[in-house]
Amino acid sequence: MPPLANFVGLTAWVLYATVRSFMQEWYFVEPYNYLTPFYSPCVSVGCVEEAAHFGRFLPDVWWLPYAAVSLPFLLLFRLTCYYYRKAYYRSFWLSPPACAVAEPHRKYTGETRFPLIGQNLHRYFFYIATFVALINTYDAFYAFVRTDGEFGFGLGNVILLVNVFFLWCYSLSCHSCRSIIGGRLNHFSKHPVRYKFWQFVSRLNTKHMQFAWITLATLAFTDFYIMAVAAGWIPDLRIIN
């Protein structure tokens, strides 16, 4: 049942994210500066000017997502994630479907050959994903300023902040992050600051699986809410302005 649930959940999310990434509309709520994380940073010449905080330089063609600069690296970061490897190896490849269950394939070479040897690049995708998380954080706080320059606060701001919070929890709980913080040290006592941070990251690391799924949910919900407001299906619940 767990592999089946993972298969259904991951497939549904990938289908939704793929459709939304190529829709190229309903990604920005102009009055409130809400930008969906699926389109951040928006760097296509087709992007709304107010949503293009880092310039517009990619061609506007249907087969190229507006956030084509960041999406491939975010996908590779999750694809090479230690938890997601376990999830999709078991649910899509049945390799193996569970612990203490026989490997159904005739040969098992692990991650020593192409393409799975590329999983070793996870640490470098982590660096790029951290940079994108900073951009998402910028987007969340930038949305507190309306396009008319006035301060504003609504339900969309709360949703953006919650999404960013869990994105950081997922990124910081990454096994590579824990290794980077505490790796190559012989004596923690000589590096008290790194040791404290390593302890913090280690506690997050125990929840890495939960954060992996929570962020899929918050990303999809954040995107759907902004799409619904941008399309005029629902109004944004405003608290201030």
pLDDT in tens, 57-79: 999 999 999 999 999 999 999 99
What pLDDT sits at residue 208?
Answer: 96
Q: Is residue 108 scored above 80 in pLDDT? A: no
What pLDDT sits at residue 97?
Answer: 83
Q: What are the tens digits of pLDDT across the range 131-162?
A: 999 999 999 999 999 988 899 999 999 999 99
pLDDT band, residue 163 (cuts 50/70/90)? very high
**Secondary structure (3-state) at 238:** strand
How confident is the model over 93-98, as a mean pLDDT? 85
* Token digits of residue 204: 């997050």
What pLDDT sits at residue 69?
Answer: 93
What pLDDT sits at residue 1?
Answer: 84
| Residue bearing the bigger pLDDT, 185 or 87 | 87
Q: What are the tens digits of pLDDT across the range 170-207?
A: 999 999 999 999 988 888 889 999 999 999 999 999 99
Give the count of beta carbons closer than 10 Å to the beta carbon of residue 95: 14
Cα angle 126-132-137, degrees, rounded to a multiple of 5 = 125
Q: What global pTM score does this model have?
A: 0.92
Beta-ladder partners of 160 = none
What pLDDT sits at residue 106?
Answer: 81
Q: What is the mean pLDDT of the chain?
A: 93
pLDDT band, residue 21 (cuts 50/70/90)? very high
| DSSP code of residue 44 | B
User: What percentage of the chain exceeds 70 in pLDDT?
Assistant: 100
Q: Is residue 49 scored above 90 in pLDDT? A: yes
What pLDDT sits at residue 66?
Answer: 95
Determine contact, residues 42/19, Cβ cutoff 8 Å.
Answer: no
How far apart (Å, rounded) are the C-alpha atoms in residues 53 and 39?
Answer: 12
For residue 66, give the amino acid letter: Y
pLDDT band, residue 127 (cuts 50/70/90)? very high
